[in-house]
Amino acid sequence: MTHTHRLHLDGDVVTKTYVDWSRNEHVREWTALQAISAARPHLVPVPIEFTPPTPYPSITMSRLQGTPLAGCLSAEELEALHGALTDLWSIPPTAVEPLDLAVFVERIRSSIASWDGGGIIAQAHRAAIEWLAAPSDLAQPAHAVIGHGDPNLANYLRDGRQVRIIDFEDAGRSDLALELANLVEHIASRATDWTTFLDPFPVDPDRLLSARRLHAIFWLTLLRPGGPAAHRNPPETGELQAERVLKLLS
């Protein structure tokens, strides 16, 4: 995958310079950090300065300390992450621009339809094409939240008992079910059992299942042979993702 930014560390301050901002990443991150830090000052980096493209846009913000989450999360880590995300999703999302679900779905649909291969990965693609062709309940408005957009576990820093969140370049107004699904279907989350983590959130189970199916199919497009994330994962990851998709769609 293409790196969209460079980081410069200077003591307690970080400057993030965007080398690719085709999706307005710099504005998304700045807007999200302003809204979140105003409501929950210790949850995210404090935005200090926004520099428009001259020639590259950048954001200067406070530097957060902590150890990135990774692997199979412990009960204590899950509790801390649950608290951080509950705080994030309790903030009214009116200040951030909406994420375009229709564009995301069309991107997935096009990528799934264009792939030519065999085996269990092809079987998963056929099942995904059939599911994507049917009307989706995700198109209907639901529980709106500030969406983080990049729930790689490395973007959650644990400092003692607290988890804080970084990297909001894909942030926007989203949906609780989609955000939960984005988290648990991320490739970095596979080692953890998320069942008890998900239970307390007020989300419709059918909607959550639809959202998980969508994100699992998205990861299939990334992890299949030739996919943009395939080279960074073991060779069998594409087949394992196909099995995951088929299980979720069954």
Give the lowest-confidence range in 29-38, 73-82, 135-144: 135-144
User: What's the pLDDT at 200?
Assistant: 94
For residues 19-47, average pLDDT: 95
Name the amino acid, one letter, at 146: I
For residues 39-58, average pLDDT: 94
Candidates 47, 44, 42, 50; CA nearest to 61 is: 47
pLDDT of 1 strictly over 50:
no
| Residue 90, CB-side half-sphere exposure with 13 Å CA sphere | 12
The rounded percent of the chain whose pLDDT value lies above 70 is 99
Domain extent, residue 219, equals: 5-249
Beta bridge partners of 9: 14
Q: How far is CA 14 from each of CA 17, 42, 59, rounded to the nearest angstrom? A: 10, 16, 8
User: What's the pLDDT at 160?
Assistant: 85
CA–CA separation, 114 and 112 (whole Å): 6
Q: How confident is the model at residue 2 (pLDDT cuts 50, 70, 90)?
A: low
User: What's the pLDDT at 5?
Assistant: 86
For residues 9-15, average pLDDT: 94
pLDDT of 22 strictly over 80:
yes
Give the CATH number for residue 58: 3.90.1200.10
Candidates 141, 198, 199, 203; CA nearest to 177 is: 203
- Into how many domains does the chain fold? 1
Name the amino acid, one letter, at 110: S
Residue with tokens 């099995």: 243
User: What's the pLDDT at 82?
Assistant: 97
Q: Is 11 left (phi over 0), alpha (psi -120 to 50) or beta?
A: left
For residues 136-140, average pLDDT: 87
Q: Give φ, ψ of 15 to 5 degrees.
A: -115, 125
Q: Is 132 left (phi over 0), alpha (psi -120 to 50) or beta?
A: alpha
Q: What's the whole-number average pLDDT of the chain?
A: 94
**Whole-number CA gyration radius for the chain:** 18
For residues 100-109, average pLDDT: 94
- H-only helix segments in the chain: 25-39, 75-89, 101-114, 119-133, 176-184, 195-198, 205-223, 237-249
Q: Supply the pTM of this predicted model.
A: 0.94
What burial letters (b/e) apply to 177-200, b meaning 16+ CB within 10 Å?
bbbbbbbbbebbbbebebeebbee
pLDDT of 80 strictly over 60:
yes
Kindly state the tokens that stand for 68.
């990135």
Kindly state the tokens that stand for 146.
């500030």
Q: Enumerate residues 6+ apart whose C-beta is below 8 A from 98.
A: 172, 173, 174
Under a CB-based contact definition with an 8 Å cutoff, are residues 187 and 221 in contact? no
pLDDT of 3 strictly over 60:
yes
